[in-house]
Amino acid sequence: MKELKGIPAPDDPEAALAAVVALRRRATQLELAAVIEAVRQGWTWAQIGEALGISAQAAHKKFTPQLREPQGR
Amino acid sequence: MGLLNAVKDLRTVRQLLTKAEAEALRAGEELPGPEHLLLSALELPDGSAVRAFERVGADPSALRKAIESAHHGALAAAGFAEDEGGLEAPVERRPAPGVFRSTPQAQQVFQQAVALSKSTRPSLLRSAHVVAATCTLERGTVVRALTALGVDRARLKAAACAEVGIPG
């Protein structure tokens, strides 16, 4: 497999997979924080979905339950 | 199991799972994993999980920081630099409605803890059962966090089993 530039080769699978878990966790945190800010700025679920590459319905379904004050739109 | 014990057991399960879910949300994760079940177990009122940690000389209050350090260390080892704190735990979130969802590993730990509890008298789920079940895992965040705490999982499992009176 061609190595990605800037990404360490996974010659130690245990360390590499632990990094994947930590990166996924960071991505989840960043995603939610960004969606909340987008909602605060008045983005529609269609716009959020488009930015994330998912449908408006999928974005609404995924994030609305996690918001303390769900923004129905 | 008598009715009173059954009710008590249900209350313990609900406390354990609700708190695990809250721990995952607090950490900004989608689903509770074994590390969140373990954090939750350490707060259950029966106290046997805390005593199991203390039996092996580990500080239960250091587990949360050890989990964060495990993630931070994994990123650093792979060459991804970030501040020690990383992103702030983003926002207050609330659990999604509906049935409890967790990672397969957390399900495995929970089911094993329940199975262990059936072998004790009274057959009530106690927090040390969760500790013992967690210690059977061989990989993942909770294993790295316990290692970072200097905990030998076999010894911790034996201590947890001793707390609930089952062979380690």
DSSP string spanning A7-51?
Answer: S---SSHHHHHHHHHHHHHHHHHHHHHHHHHHHHTT--HHHHHHH
pLDDT at position A72 is 42
Task: Report the C-alpha gap between B111 and B96 in whole angstroms.
Answer: 22
Identify the burial level of B43 via C-beta atoms within 10 angstroms of its C-beta, where 0-12 means exposed, 13-18 middle and 19 or more buried.
middle
Mutate to test the interface with A, among B21, B23, B30, B138 (most CBs of A within 10 A): B30
Report ipTM for this prediction: 0.77
Q: Determine what percent of chain A is predicted with pLDDT higher than 70.
A: 78
Q: pLDDT value at position A52?
A: 95
B29 lies within 8 A of chain A by CB: yes
Please compute the mean of the pLDDT values over residues A36-65 and round it to a whole number. 94
What confidence tens digit (pLDDT) does each residue in B28-84 have? 888 999 999 999 999 999 999 999 999 999 999 999 999 999 999 998 888 887 655
Tell me the nearest-neighbour CA distance from A8 into chain B, angstroms.
Answer: 6
What pLDDT does B54 receive? 97
The pLDDT, as a whole number, for residue A43 is 97
What pLDDT score does B6 carry? 77
B3-79+102-164 to CATH, choices 1.10.1780.10, 1.10.274.10, 1.10.10.10, 1.20.1050.140: 1.10.1780.10
B145 vs A: CB within 8 A: no
Nearest Cα of chain A lies from the Cα of B75 at a distance, in angstroms, of 5
Cβ neighbours of B80 in A, within 8 Å: 19, 22-23
* 3-state SS, one letter per residue, for B45-102: CCCHHHHHHHHCCCCHHHHHHHHHHHHHHHHHHCCCCCCCCCCCCCCCECCCCCCCCC
Per-residue pLDDT tens over the stretch B97-147? 667 889 999 999 999 999 999 988 888 999 999 999 999 999 999 999 999
In this prediction, residue A70 has a pLDDT band, given cuts at 50, 70 and 90, of very low
Mean confidence (pLDDT) of chain A: 83
Please give the pLDDT value at position A71: 42
